[in-house]
Amino acid sequence: MFRDLLDALGLNPVILAAGAAGGLLRALSSKQHSLRERIVSPLCGALAAGYLTAPGVHMLRTLSVPLPFDNAQATFGAVGFLIGVSAMWISDALMVLVLRRLGRAG
């Protein structure tokens, strides 16, 4: 049933796990983050990896980055992990941009 839900949402459990692991690494690697950020980081990493890994791999291939074709699962897992590590940073940067835009508009 859970697998069916993930399939309906277009999410791969392996990529979700890779992104969550990346988010967990980010949460554990810095003492500057709040407890909220440490809890949310693996969740954010998993969701970001779930939806951004396929476009990320496609972009890397478009840029002619040499990626192994014989083990696509490992490639997707590695890219998902990297997206998971950087997902909170990306979301923080996007929130700053949105808040700046709203501040200028108001």
C-beta of residue 12 within 8 angstroms of C-beta of residue 75: no
Q: What is the pLDDT of residues 31-57, one digit of tens each?
A: 787 888 788 888 889 999 999 999 999
What percentage of the chain reaches a pLDDT higher than 90? 30
Considering the entire predicted model, what is its pTM?
A: 0.78
> What is the CA 52 to chain-centroid distance, rounded?
6
Please say if the pLDDT value at position 15 is more than 60: yes
C-beta of residue 3 within 8 angstroms of C-beta of residue 13: yes
Residue 8 has which token pair?
């309906």
pLDDT at 104: 63
Helix (H) or strand (E) holding 65: none
pLDDT at 5: 85
